Structure 1
Amino acid sequence: MTDGDGWRPDVLGEGFEQLELPLGVDDEGEVVATLVRHRPNAASRFRWPWQSERGAASGTDVLYVHGWSDYFFNPELAAYWSGAGARFFALDLRKYGRSLRPGQTPGYVTDLAAYDADIEAALTAMGQGRADAAGPGRTRPLILLGHSTGGLTLSLWAARNPGRAAALVLNSPWLEFQLSGIGREAIAPVIGFRARINPMGPLPNVDLGFYSRSVSKDQDGEWEFDHGWRPDRGFPIHPAWLTAILAGHATVAKGIDVGAPVLSLLSARSTMLPRWDAAMLTSDIVLVVDDIAARSLRLAPEVAVARIDGALHDVFLSREPARAAAYAAITHWLEGYAPR
């Protein structure tokens, strides 16, 4: 990886650069993923009070993957990992965020394994490609960091690629359907039939915009982001995409082994209501966190679950006390499980 070799300034401003990763062409045209890296200078390197000078993640590479209807826009998350001693990278998957091109169906894939190409391209650009991963050339352990659908995608990838990741940190990973395993098994044949008949047909939009309200600085949240890349009511959902998600959930339910220690960060509680409620500012309103806690234990022999009081679905977009508790939980876990 050479400075100036394809890297250019990123929309997040100073300290962030992006690299476009070509992935070929599909029916909707050019397909790319976009890798973002954090390059803080010594003066801007932020440390939380409990972070040591060396850092609990010193010498590692971190790759972050976002969730559904999302992209990477959290500079504080990058600053935490840089302060912990890691090299931080974030990946906007194909047809999301920086990688979305005009005329493309946002977020659309028919198999989560399609993202293997995105992840491999990112790891190669990071110096974590296959040639480096298995032998003495690999000098920096890899930590995978995934939110929601990104947590599901990375977990499945790690299980298919044993030995590549040294640790997984999951932020409210979407490991089970909101209607539970029984509901998933009941709905899967119906969605699968619709996917065969009309794979890109419309499905009802159940996103009422409450989650964006809890996050957006324009409303009741604290964060600024591109509402074109992260729409307030999410991307349209299509049967073939949902079939891919349900297949991923079924695989996790059977039990997989990601081949590394796992930390799963979740809110302490869920709030599922058809109307706005102030509790939505301090809870997960997307997933049933008790179900996700149980499914997290199906990922590996060594799994830690941290329940963060007051956390949102994206734990790192919560109010500052909950974010601080989440970062402290990661630091504490790394001190016991950190790959050195």
Structure 2
Amino acid sequence: MSAPLGQAWRLLNQGEDQLGADFYYRTFAFAGPKTQVHTTLIHHLGNQQASKAILYVHGYTDYFFQAGLAQHFVDQGYRFYAVDLQGYGRSIRPSTPPNWCDSVEQYSQDLDIALATMKQDGVEQVVILAHSTGGLVVSTYLAHPYALPERESHYQMPFPEVIGLMLNSPFLALPFPPAVLNRISWPIRILVSALPFSYLRAKKITTYATTLHCRFGGEWDYRLDWKPAEGFNLSFHWLREIILAQRNLAQQSLSIPTLFCHSKISTIGKDSVVETQQGDGVLDVDSMKQAAEKSFTNLTEVVIDKGFHDLYLSHETAREEYLQAMDNWLAQLTTTK
């Protein structure tokens, strides 16, 4: 683990976030595997006296831009925070490739910084909401063998209690049907281990991206330099570390109350926008479901018909169904906490 707080990270800058006057950002610097890296914590200014908060963790080729999602939880009485992990969005720097990681475990310090800062703000209990690769990052973090009291002792400061986890289409398995995944997992691992410094070049705009961004007829406007329509170059080293993290998570048994939301079907490889919009155009739902059921022992599953890969970015009917599912689950969770 890292050094105590005073030596572990430092606040670089802070101020009004690009999302507008309702949002505030804080960027922290800390030592990464090879060089100094940055992480950025964004929070909505509503409900500053509330003791419970949502912490949102984005996916791959992603960052936090969903202001309406934050407002939704603020309207429900929560404080809302989001983190742009090192190498993503507001935390991208020229010194390291975007989205690069030596291992999935290195994002633990981003989460430590976020949670410790939330505690300093007066937050006592946290529910983490994680999308796609963020779901793997957070699950890996929560499955880590060191416990909350040890983190508090190590950093010489208190942390809030993480009382629940909400997963939005988590990247817990490679995007292949279970039968295919069983046959190709080892060959893929051998390939990416043999070519750790190779990349798949990002050249073509993905059909999924055209379902989202207003430039292509979608309803969302976000920064295409931070969430490019063709994606970033895919590192084989990154893929190897994702596969390793998925394999390690499959051997864990997490008892934290968990809401698992996903689309009804997968639409990977569909040629048209309309076909892609009928389901998850990025991951395989069946493999995702199988992996979640294996690792989480206190799991509530909700299927969102015609939900996109990022369920919040779905068309309004599916989006509202997704938000209602989270509200219902949170209501049940908070009655027991």
TM-score class, shorter-chain normalisation, is 0.7 to 0.9
- Do the aligned partners of 1:156 and 1:258 also contact (CA within 8 Å) in 2? no
Tell me, yes or no, if structure 1 residue 224 matches structure 2 residue 225. Answer: no
Superposed displacement of residue 328, structure 1: 0.6
Tell me, yes or no, if structure 1 residue 150 matches structure 2 residue 147. Answer: no
Specify the alignment match of 1:13 in structure 2. Answer: 20
> Aligned to 2:200, what secondary structure does the other structure show?
coil
Given the superposition, is the C-alpha separation of residues 207 and 301 from structure 1 closer, same or farther in structure 2, using an over 3 Å criterion?
farther
Counterparts of residues 264-283 of structure 1 (less than 5 Å): 264-273=260-269, 275-283=271-279
Equivalent residue for 1:36, pick from 39, 42, 50: 42
1:139 and 1:219 map into 2 onto residues whose CA distance is 40
Superposed displacement of residue 82, structure 1: 1.1
Superposed displacement of residue 153, structure 1: 0.4
TM-score of the two chains, using structure 2 as the length reference = 0.85
Superposed displacement of residue 95, structure 1: 0.9
Specify the alignment match of 2:67 in structure 1. Answer: 75
1:25 and 1:166 map into 2 onto residues whose CA distance is 28
Specify the alignment match of 2:193 in structure 1. Answer: 192
- Count of aligned positions: 308
Tell me the alpha carbon deviations over residues 240-289 of structure 1, each in whole angstroms, 9 at most, x when there is no partner.
Answer: 111110011112333x2334111011011111225224121231110011
- Do the aligned partners of 1:162 and 1:259 also contact (CA within 8 Å) in 2? no
Identical amino acids, percent of aligned pairs? 29
Given the superposition, is the C-alpha separation of residues 305 and 162 from structure 1 closer, same or farther in structure 2, using an over 3 Å criterion?
farther
- Do the aligned partners of 2:104 and 2:242 also contact (CA within 8 Å) in 1? yes
2:16 and 2:41 map into 1 onto residues whose CA distance is 12
Amino acid at match of 2:280: D
Counterparts of residues 1-340 of structure 1 (less than 5 Å): 7-24=14-31, 27=34, 29-40=35-46, 59-127=51-119, 140-160=124-144, 161=146, 164-179=161-176, 180=178, 181-182=181-182, 183-195=184-196, 199=197, 201-203=198-200, 205=202, 208-254=205-251, 256-273=252-269, 275-338=271-334, 340=337
Bigger relative CO (Cα 8 Å, ≥ 6 apart): 1
Superposed displacement of residue 202, structure 1: 1.7
- Do the aligned partners of 2:88 and 2:98 also contact (CA within 8 Å) in 1? yes
Superposed displacement of residue 304, structure 1: 0.9
TM-score of the two chains, using structure 1 as the length reference = 0.84
- Do the aligned partners of 1:68 and 1:148 also contact (CA within 8 Å) in 2? yes
Superposed displacement of residue 90, structure 1: 0.3
Tell me the alpha carbon deviations over residues 52-74 of structure 1, each in whole angstroms, 9 at most, x when there is no partner.
Answer: xxxxxx74121111000000000
Amino acid at match of 2:283: L
Given the superposition, is the C-alpha separation of residues 30 and 127 from structure 1 closer, same or farther in structure 2, using an over 3 Å criterion?
same
Q: Stretches of 4+ moved more than 3 A in 1?
A: 4-7, 161-164, 204-208
Specify the alignment match of 1:134 in structure 2. Answer: none
Given the superposition, is the C-alpha separation of residues 122 and 177 from structure 1 closer, same or farther in structure 2, using an over 3 Å criterion?
same
- Do the aligned partners of 2:59 and 2:131 also contact (CA within 8 Å) in 1? yes
* Structure with the larger helix share: 2
Superposed displacement of residue 144, structure 1: 1.0
Superposed displacement of residue 207, structure 1: 6.5
- Which ranges of structure 1 fall in alignment gaps of 5 or more residues? 43-57, 130-137
> Aligned to 1:15, what secondary structure does the other structure show?
strand
> Aligned to 2:294, what secondary structure does the other structure show?
coil
C-alpha RMSD of matched pairs (Å): 2.4
